[in-house]
């Protein structure tokens, strides 16, 4: 893409939009701008007043390199290394799933059930966005985030440090290394059916961590594993909250009922699709 002459910001932005659109990027114009913002550290108002400003050769190369990588369908958030979730900035990279707005519903439901003095466990914590968002909005709560990926945990620990939120993170295959009991267990486990993954957008299919996506044959594998042992780690009356796929609400309700959970509710996202399920362990253990 690079040429041996100085280009204006407008030329770079316009060529970036065209290039990304030609590569099938869904929101080419927005992404071209966000990458310009990343490289040049400018606001939209400044750009509109100075769009004919010439970029240095180094800046132009940096911008065009990012545009080329975005054209390879590498997610924008991995290129900038950051995203926002529940009003907080999070570091992300290729080792963690990119936080989605839909997942904020899980945080909202958790906050309705959490109170000072409670202990929270977040399984498959990834970037730590769910746990840290809950902790940042409720004082006097302690939390543990668990993930099988040590590289993901490094990201979670960095986010906790950057946000100045105290949390414990440990490497664990679900409950394997977990000790003690919790008042609230949260999880956004892998829930996409294996045969669906090839149909996903390239940004997800080719670049987000497979282990954070693949829910095995029917997408319910990790829910079953978590539900099998959740009763041992939840206090009587404790809550279990999952993010779920749009077509999994009925199945999760049945699974949770079978495992003795009560007060089961399913919450939908802004598109009207099932997105979160919550249930409560019986006050008196049935074990």
- The token pair at 250 is 């009925």
CB 132 within 8 A of CB 106: no
Instruction: Judge whether residue 285 has pLDDT over 70.
Output: no
Closest CA to 231 of 271, 273, 282, 190: 282
**Which tens digit of pLDDT belongs to each residue from 127-170?**
999 999 999 999 999 999 999 999 999 999 999 999 999 999 99
Closest CA to 158 of 81, 227, 220: 81
* Residue 43 C-alpha from the chain's centroid: 26
CA atoms within 13 A on the CB side of 111: 16
Rg (the chain; Cα; Å):
22
β-strands 88-91, 82-85 pairing:
antiparallel
Q: Three-state DSSP class for 243?
A: strand
CB 19 within 8 A of CB 1: yes
Angle at 57 between CA 51 and CA 58, to 5 degrees: 105
**Local confidence band at 287 (pLDDT 50, 70, 90 cut-offs):** very low
Rounded Cα gap, residues 254 and 202, in angstroms: 33
188 is in an annotated binding site: yes
Task: State the average pLDDT over residues 111-134.
Answer: 99
Rounded Cα gap, residues 149 and 147, in angstroms: 5
User: What pLDDT, on the 0 to 100 scale, is given for residue 191?
Assistant: 98
189 is in an annotated binding site: yes
Rounded Cα gap, residues 40 and 51, in angstroms: 12
221 is in an annotated binding site: no
- The token pair at 73 is 């369908």
β-strands 119-123, 142-147 pairing:
parallel
Instruction: Judge whether residue 194 has pLDDT over 80.
Output: yes
H/E segment holding residue 275 = strand 274-281
Q: Three-state DSSP class for 206?
A: helix
**Which tens digit of pLDDT belongs to each residue from 52-103?**
999 999 999 999 999 999 999 999 999 999 999 999 999 999 999 999 999 9
* Torsion angle (degrees, nearest 10) of CA 224, 226, 229, 235: -130
Closest CA to 146 of 186, 107, 197, 196: 186
191 is in an annotated binding site: yes
CB 126 within 8 A of CB 208: no
């Amino acid at each position: 893409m690079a040429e041996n002459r100085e280009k204006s910001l407008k030329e770079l932005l316009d060529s970036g939009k065209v290039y990304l659109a030609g590569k099938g990027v869904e929101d080419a114009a927005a992404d071209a701008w966000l990458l310009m913002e990343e490289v040049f550290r400018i606001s939209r108002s400044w750009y509109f007043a100075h769009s004919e400003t010439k970029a240095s050769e180094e800046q132009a190369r940096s911008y065009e390199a990012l545009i080329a990588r975005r054209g390879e369908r590498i997610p924008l958030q991995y290129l900038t290394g950051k995203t926002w979730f529940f009003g907080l900035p999070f570091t992300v990279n290729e080792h963690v799933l990119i936080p989605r707005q839909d997942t904020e519903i899980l945080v909202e439901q958790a906050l309705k059930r959490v109170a000072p003095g409670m202990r929270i466990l977040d399984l498959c914590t990834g970037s730590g966005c769910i746990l840290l968002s809950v902790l940042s909005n409720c004082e006097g709560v302690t939390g543990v985030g668990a993930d099988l990926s040590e590289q993901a945990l490094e990201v979670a620990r960095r986010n906790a440090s950057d946000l100045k939120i105290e949390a414990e993170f440990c490497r664990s295959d679900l409950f394997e290394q977990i000790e003690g009991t919790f008042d609230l267990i949260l999880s956004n486990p892998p829930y996409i059916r294996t045969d669906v993954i090839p149909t996903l957008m390239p940004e997800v299919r080719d670049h987000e961590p497979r282990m954070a996506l693949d829910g095995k044959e029917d997408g319910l594998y990790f829910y079953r594993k978590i539900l099998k042992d959740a009763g041992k780690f939840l206090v009587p009356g404790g809550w279990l909250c999952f993010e779920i796929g749009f077509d999994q609400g009925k199945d999760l309700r049945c699974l949770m009922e079978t495992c003795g959970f009560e007060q089961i509710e399913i919450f939908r996202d802004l598109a009207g699709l099932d997105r979160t399920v919550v249930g409560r362990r019986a006050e008196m253990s049935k074990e």
